[in-house]
Structure 1
Amino acid sequence: MQRLKTTIATSAVATALLCAVGSTPAPAQSLNEAISSRLQSNPGQDRLLVDAKEIIYDNDRNTISASGDVQMNYQGRTLQADRVTYDRNTGRVHAEGNARLTDSSGAVVTGDRFELTDDFKNGFIDSLRVVQTTVENGRPVTTRFSSPRAERAAGETTTFERGTYTACEPCKEHPERPPLWQVKAAKIIHNNSEQTIYYEDATLEILGLPVAYLPYFWTPDPTVKRKTGFLAPRYVASNTLGFGAQIPFFWAIAPNYDLTVAPTFLTRQGILGEAEWRHRLETGAYNIRVAGISQLDPDAFLPSPRGAGDRDWRGSLETAGQFYLNERWKWGWDITLVSDKWFLENYSIRNESLSALYLKEAVSTLYLQGQGDRSFFDVRGYYFQGLSTRDWQKQQPVVHPVLDYNKRFTPSGIGGEFALDVNVTSLTREAAQFEPLSSKNRTSLFGIYQTCKEFNPEDCLVRGTSGSMSRASVMASWRREFIDPVGQVWTPFAYLRADSFWVSPDLEGYQNAKLSNYITGDDDYLFRATPAVGLEYRYPFVADLGTSGRQVIEPIAQIIARPNETKIGNLPNEDAQSLIFDDTSLFDWDKFSGYDRAEGGVRANMGIQYTVTGADDFYASALFGQSYQVAGRNSYRQGDLANVGLDSGLESRASDYVGRVQFSPNRNFSFVTRARFDEEDFNVNRLEASVRANFNPYLPLSTSLTYARYDAQPEIGFTRRREGLLGSATWNLTPNWSLSGSVLVDLDRYLLQEENPAAYADNPIERAFVSSMSLGVGYIDECTTFSLRYIMKPRSLTTSSSGERERNHTVMLSLELRTLGAAAITQNIDGSSSEEGVAN
């Protein structure tokens, strides 16, 4: 036997490219030339590169072998092995010893032995293992296939006999153990061109134990972001709906739009249909989601007006979109319309409107927004739809529209900063909204809507007037800061505000006629102007602590002079009903929260602030101050239709004291508390305190605790104190397992007595009770996300026969096997009704 052996030094490279016909290869290039001669179907375009330590040419067997860190590259595919043999008789390439094939997508195929065609597209692989890494939501996801033997066809399809698939990493300490989950199948077919993985006679195993069997199914491969097919099902178990399952189908119609259809089959109510259309355009995107059902058993729900038991057809329409006109301007909408206020909750339709514990409403808006370098413009309309039993839709306003504009610039000559603020608000309400100040004056309209027995300003507030109201407000302001040679900071300012009101009350129908106790029935135009000048003074005393940081003590004084506020109580108040006097509003020019009220008179605000910063992120600060009505009428002493200003701490000539203390020794711990103290006896009228702590790296625990106590404010409807404690914590048991929980404790329980005084007349309850609570356990790793949560939250404003507030107890289970699918189950475990509008 004649053998020709060419040995190349270890550091050298045996390299050959598919060159023009007629080239004369060196002996070390024979393997390249032999394989290249079979690749002439694509002449001169694709080049084969071979890199090896040693090449052996065997004339008797008509084979060429390369050994020693062999690497072959062709058409984006790379074959690596300890030894590669090319059989010129069959045109097959045999690779052995640490064989590894990397395709153009980055997938890595390893095996004990490869038998491939000379272009690496077809062949058989023994003891195959495929590792492929993709990026999903910014995180790398690695998938793994394995099989005793696999066949590769046309470089597009790989068939795994007795294959195994998983996205879990093997245990580093015990690689022989099965992964957390894996799919075993008699045959797994991975089609690269279709980007689909087919499973035949498949079993899902968790921790090596079979938990589910499917004779045939398919999934997109990990490189797919969106693909037509069925999504993970959702299961339903409910007293009112029966048992059922939702089977979503996703249709990727085009790269920029798709449709998801999700019918839910319910044993008691029939078929609930849901569909979502998503469309992405060059300048923005929008989506439309609809749901509807023709109920088979409406009697499962309470009759009107407490439920939708009189309805056969129920449904919802939700749509949102946002489009950019240019780099500064955009417009969009977010609309939710429902057939009745209970539909979304009864059928567990996902919607952010249901996320709050106590306030549930669907807010629809259409807007246009623009932003410049120092300007902002926003105009939008609102439609509110109450989603709780006690919400009366006729009392909800329709806003058409509200406009805000702000512009800031530096004027020439006088310097400083000039600001222009514009607000235009127009709304309509069909029925007036009243709120009684005491239980004695409380009654119900139609048996469920709270209102006043007697309509008098002394014992009844007007939260919203019927008819229409429009207001246009313009405020021009100027401020400039001066620092004198000794470091004192002087900031003069001035503003001029003008408000125009158009009020057209509707005194007909329902309880609207009672508005005549408050306002006249004639259409009216009213104008209000408020000029003001003021001065703010600060004198910071700075002490340098060297490398430890510095501390600053800063006395602050502010005085504002303006005429008295006019027409108090003669105008509706829609946007200025929330008034909280604390450290954050102490130095506000106008402490009202909206434009419908305008603070008047001469007022002085004074306080002192202390701040210290140090090494290792140490920070502490404190503020204490008071406000004084120096001259003129005190705007907070005379209540409007909603009594805003009374019981605020600002109604006396010398206000309550307000203060804040903040302390953070490092980045892992922070404490802040703010309080309002009575100006006569220094009793605490309002207190909030919160602490946040992250104990890493000493303890894998993070927690927060918030305490709040608000004294009674009978003039605005709070006849009892309000006190509560909210705590939450997350404990990372391991890098993968975590426990979390939160609890809201009502420390006074007076709220229940106010809602149902008869139930508590003989047995008043003053002990603390848990208002809401959640507990959860979670697991997350590279391939699996699992969570189990228990949630207890108070029922809506309804009470059971015992006088106790009914509660909603829910268990939520979710499991995601990354790249394979996800499933979620939500089960209510109440013994009685679980939802609003549901019959017992």
Structure 2
Amino acid sequence: MCAIFAFAAPEAAAQLAVPGDISVPADQKMLLAADEVIYNNDSGVVVASGGVQIDYGGYQLVADRVEYDQQTGRVKASGSVEMIEPGGNRIYADNLDVTDNFSDGFLNALRIETPDNTRIAAESAERSGGTMTTFNSGVYTACEPCADNPERAPFWQVKAQRVIQNGETKTIRMEKATFELFGMPIAYLPYLEIPDHSAKRKTGFLTPSVSSSDTFGYGLTVPYYLVLSPYMDATFTGTGYTKQGFLGEAEFRRNFSNGEVTLRMAGISQRSPGDFEARTTDRLETERGMIATKGEFRINPRWIFGWDAMLQSDNNFSRTYGIEGYNASTVKSEVYLTGLSNRSFFDLRAYRFDIQNAQDLNDVLERRQAAVHPSLDYKRTFSDVAGGELSLDVNGYSLSRKADDTRVRAGLATTNPLFADRYRGFAGSNARLSTELEWKRTFTTMNGLRLTPILAARGDLNSVDVDNAPADYDGVFAGNGSHARGMVTAGLEASYPVLVTTATSSHVIEPIAQVFVRPDERLAGGIPNEDAQSFVFDATSLFERDKFTGFDRAEGGIRANVGLRYTGHFDNGFRTQAVFGQSYHLAGLNSFATPDLSQATRNSGLEDDVSDFVGMAGVDYDGFSLAASARFDKDDFRIERTDLRAGLSRGPVTTALTYSEIKAPRPNTFTEDDRREITGLAKLQLHEFWSVAASTSYDLVDEKFNRRAFGILYEDECFAFSFAYEHTRDDGNVNARDWKVGARLSFRTLGGFEQGSVSSPLLEPSF
């Protein structure tokens, strides 16, 4: 039997156990379903009994019996009462007595389940003022009851004489509380206040942590979070070390409608700098500190402006004390402006580098770093230009250094730049602006042959003003001053993809041939090379028109690239791919055979008229992948460079393994030894709640581990525990901590405790 009643609701209804106001329209109707409904005209009482279901203003109520008194405005429910509030709370009680707008009332023998899966149980509760709920003899926990034995105590719970949920402050306060593990009390808490699930931010102390170190002693870190306004907050962190004293940190955050700004500061007056290693910055400095700022603003949907900058009292403070976000060995400070549209990209930025190293040579290392002011990168693509695609690239930079960045010729124990054979950067200034246009169009003939003509033109303008010109250099240095150069290219790519199909698979075999005709590279190796130093010739760069990674070098001469590309697909999901080929210098000056100030082209595999072979092959099937790439010597097929990568992600197992090898060049003029390294990562989900992970990096030449790490994690719906171990080798810094351990115990909604400073993902619970 259903009936519609117009309940008077002059006030905004509020959640019974969820903070915040939920307004119910004044003309809101109530839907009532029950086996029997009795209305007493004399007393104005409506009684519904037998499977009562009420839906009113987002509240849903189920009970055996509901009585509504129109004169007093009270609603009484009894018998297996269950109510779902608009905010998602689910309330169970023996009986309920509230006003018709749910702002005030009483409940007996109740249990509440919130949307974030926390639970409050109490003997009774009282609702007052529409926002305050007081639970008497309450129990708070985030653990689910045991399915086999619901009466058994959960892993953790907080029992309190009173639990007060305040809808205005969005907090849950527990008075005269006892924290229990497995039903055993372990801590008495006169007062405990935590934010409820609806509070996005709340002022208060965060999870403390403890640490220990030979140089710092024992440390206790206590962070305090402060909400300053709806759009501004701060975190103040104090760390007390038994040896070094007090480290103070502060971070302020300010949100705007289109961005945010962060200001971070830290400082310490070291009490015992003598505990650090001799002749290090950590020992020589006493008053230490840093200040950093970071911001990003979206000017409009296409443009973003931002910055990230740090200043510190010495060259290693942030790394020594592990200041979050600024504790890397190299920290880049930059300011940038980027823009992105469907067919264009713009990036303008200025930056510098801070080298964080405790060694006394750090000042020399930092003076070698470039200060870029600024760099520019602009790309735009134009479609349907003479039936093809036209692309425009503009690239440039202006930079300066305070000291030469050179590598001493092998076998010479000297730092005199006159004996250097690798000039990665020069003291002084250097600037370049480049503009390049490329047009290409693909034609497909009747028999499937694909022909792609390519036309390109590029112009560069360089300004060089270095303090010391290279004296012991095999090439010709262009000298200081302004230098202009250009490059035009005409090319043709021909490919003939052949499709082969079987009953269970399809395969595409595609022979590819390219030829590029262009003049010799002007000023080849004669000007500083800043952005084309990371040069690797492999299958990914085989068919590139210009194989250099940057604009400071430009590939010249007539060259042909020939190879074969293959892809295969099988009905069972097995996929394969492969590329193999070779490059040929046909005429003109070979850019890869000319000297380079940074030695980027040495042992590249392209220095002869006939290049080394390069190849790549890979398979992928049902979460398993295997890929291999290599460069083979053109004469004896010796493997010069190898990269093997294997991975598996299936069910509870995730693994990855990488092997890399670079052979020393013949004759040995630059690299003293072969370089071989193997890295691995594995993660295994042992159980619904247990997982383990390990990673390693092993130097096969020195027969030493560069890094070893192991971690174990337990995580269920209410708590998480993790332990991690990490061992790191750093031959360049004798003060590097070679091992460390870390552990964390976290109680969902309450916080937790942390020991150590191991940066393992296993230490981070999902909640």
Match of 1:370, as an amino acid? G
Aligned partner (choices 423, 426, 433) of residue 398 of structure 2: 426
Q: Is 2:692 aligned against 1:793?
A: no
Letter in 2 for 1:712: A
Contact 1:288 1:317 in 2 (8 A): yes
Superposed displacement of residue 191, structure 1: 1.2
Q: C-alpha separation between the residues in 1 aligned to 2:546 and 2:719?
A: 53
Residue 625 of structure 2 is matched in structure 1 by: 670
Distance 1:314 1:65, change over 3 A: same
Q: Which residue of 1 aligns with 2:592?
A: 636
Q: CA deviation at 1:611?
A: 1.5
* Preserved contact between residue 620 and residue 663 of structure 1 (Cα < 8 Å): yes
Contact 2:475 2:594 in 1 (8 A): no
2:265 to 290, 299, 304: 290
Matched residue, 1:594: 550
Distance in 1 between residues matched to 2:577 and 2:639, nearest whole Å: 20
Report the Cα offset of residue 737 of structure 1: 1.1
Letter in 2 for 1:626: Q
1:368 alignment partner in structure 2 = 337
Partner of 1:381: 350
2:696 matched to 1:743?
yes
Matches within 5 A, 1:353-364: 354=328, 360-364=329-333
CA distance change for structure 1 residues 522 and 497 in 2, over 3 Å: closer, same or farther?
closer
Aligned residue for 1:585, secondary structure, equals coil
1:16 to 2:9 alignment: no
Q: Deviation per CA, 1:561-600, whole angstroms, max 9, x where unpaired?
A: 1112232332111111111111001111111111111111
Task: Tell me which moved more, 309-318 or 168-177.
Answer: 168-177
**1:822 Cα deviation after fit:** 3.8
Q: How many residues align?
A: 740
Moved more, 100-109 or 381-390: 100-109
Native 8 Å contact 1:14 1:52 kept in 2: no
Deviation at 1:301, TM superposition (A): 2.7
Question: CA–CA distance in 1 between the matches of 2:353 and 2:99?
Answer: 68
Contact 1:268 1:296 in 2 (8 A): yes
Q: Deviations over 1:514-538 (max 9, x none)?
A: 7999987963111121111111110
Residue 491 of structure 2 corresponds to which residue in structure 1?
534
Residues 115, 657 of structure 1: alpha-carbon distance in 2 compared, 3 angstrom cutoff? same
AA of the residue aligned to 1:433: D
CA-to-partner distance for each residue in 1:453-501, whole Å, 9 max, x for gaps?
57335xx311211100001111111111111111111111121121111
Residue from 674, 683, 692 that aligns with 1:721: 674
Q: Secondary structure of 1:455's match?
A: helix
Give 2:182's aligned residue: 207
SS across alignment from 2:527: coil
Give 1:249-648 correspondences, 5 Å limit: 249-302=224-277, 304=279, 306-351=280-325, 354=328, 360-388=329-357, 389=359, 391=362, 392-410=365-383, 412=385, 414-438=386-410, 440-443=411-414, 452=415, 455-456=418-419, 460-507=421-468, 523-546=480-503, 548-648=504-604
- Whether 1:687 aligns to 2:642 is yes
**Deviation, structure 1 residue 771:** 1.9
Q: Which residue number in structure 2 is paired with residue 136 of structure 1?
A: none
Mapped contact 2:318–2:327 kept (Cα < 8 A)? no
Q: CA RMSD in A?
A: 2.9
- Which string of whole-angstrom CA distances, capped at 9 and with x for unpartnered residues, describes residues 102-154 of structure 1? 33423222112334445443333222101110xxxxxxx21110112222223
* Residue-by-residue CA offset, 1:778-821 (whole Å, 9 max, x unaligned): 12333333321111111351459xxxxx7521112223322222
Q: Secondary structure at the match of 1:81?
A: strand
SS for the counterpart of 1:232 is coil
Gapped regions of structure 2 (runs ≥ 5):
10-23, 760-767
Is it true that 1:103 corresponds to 2:85 in the alignment?
yes
Q: In the alignment, is the contact (CA less than 8 A) between 1:77 and 1:120 conserved in 2? A: no
SS at match of 1:778: strand
For the residues of structure 1 that align with 2:8 and 2:253, how far apart are their CA atoms?
51
Distance 2:268 2:734 in 1: 29
Q: 1:519 to 1:334 in 2, by over 3 A?
A: farther
Q: Secondary structure at the match of 1:373?
A: coil
Query: Aligned equivalents of 1:599 and 1:87: distance in 2?
Result: 91
CA distance in 2, matches of 1:73, 1:478: 67
Whether contact under 8 Å (1:132, 1:144) holds in the other structure is yes
Please report how far the alpha carbon of residue 16 of structure 1 lies from its aligned counterpart in structure 2 after TM superposition.
Answer: 2.6
Length-normalised TM-score, structure 1 = 0.83
Q: Does 1:172 align with 2:147?
A: yes
Contact 1:421 1:474 in 2 (8 A): yes
Shift of 1:411: 5.3
Residues 647 and 152 (structure 1), Cα distance of their counterparts in 2 relative to 1, 3 Å cut = same
Say which of 657, 661, 669 aligns to 2:617: 661
Task: Point out where structure 1 has 5 or more consecutive residues left out of the alignment.
Answer: 1-11, 21-41, 134-140, 355-359, 444-451, 750-767, 801-805, 830-840
- Partner in structure 2 of residue 703 of structure 1: 655
Q: Distance in 2 between matches of 1:75 and 1:85?
A: 18
Give the whole-Å Cα distance in 2 for the aligned partners of 1:208 and 1:400: 64
CA deviation map 1:735-794 (0-9, x unaligned): 221111111111111xxxxxxxxxxxxxxxxxx332211111112333333321111111
Instruction: Report which of the two structures shows the higher radius of gyration computed on alpha carbons.
Output: 1
**Is the alpha carbon distance of 1:522 and 1:672 closer, same or farther for their aligned partners in structure 2, counting shifts above 3 Å?**
closer
**Against the structure 1 CA distance between its residues 96 and 653, is the aligned structure 2 distance closer, same or farther, given a 3 Å change threshold?**
same
Q: Structure 1 residues 515, 184: closer, same or farther in 2, change over 3 A? A: farther
Q: What letter matches 2:418 in structure 1?
A: F
Paired residue type of 2:658: T
1:248 equivalent in structure 2: 223
Distance 2:282 2:749 in 1: 40
TM-score, structure 2 as length reference: 0.90
SS of equivalent to 2:118 = strand
Residue identity in the other structure for 1:233: P
Q: Distance in 1 between matches of 2:558 and 2:284?
A: 59
Separation in 1 of the partners of 2:567 and 2:473?
53
Q: Deviations over 1:27-80 (max 9, x none)?
A: xxxxxxxxxxxxxxx997566665432245789999764311224456654443
Distance 1:178 1:145 in 2: 14
Equivalent-residue separation in structure 1 for 2:71 and 2:354 (angstroms)? 79
Name whichever of 285-294 and 780-789 sits farther off.
780-789
1:781 aligns with: 716
Task: Indicate the larger mover: 783-792 or 401-410.
Answer: 783-792
**Per the alignment, in what secondary structure is the counterpart of residue 554 of structure 2?**
coil
> How far 1:553 sits from its partner (Å)?
1.2
Q: Which residue of 2 aligns with 1:730?
A: 683
Give the deviation of 1:730 after TM superposition.
0.9
Q: CA deviation at 1:436?
A: 2.3
Over 3 Å counting, the alpha-carbon distance change for 1:703 and 1:76 in structure 2 is closer
Aligned match of 2:201 = 226
Identity of aligned residues (%): 39
- Does the CA-based 8 Å contact 1:380-1:402 persist in structure 2? yes
CA distance in 1, matches of 2:467, 2:384: 46
Question: How has the CA–CA distance of structure 1 residues 821 and 494 changed in structure 2, closer, same or farther, with 3 Å as cutoff?
Answer: same
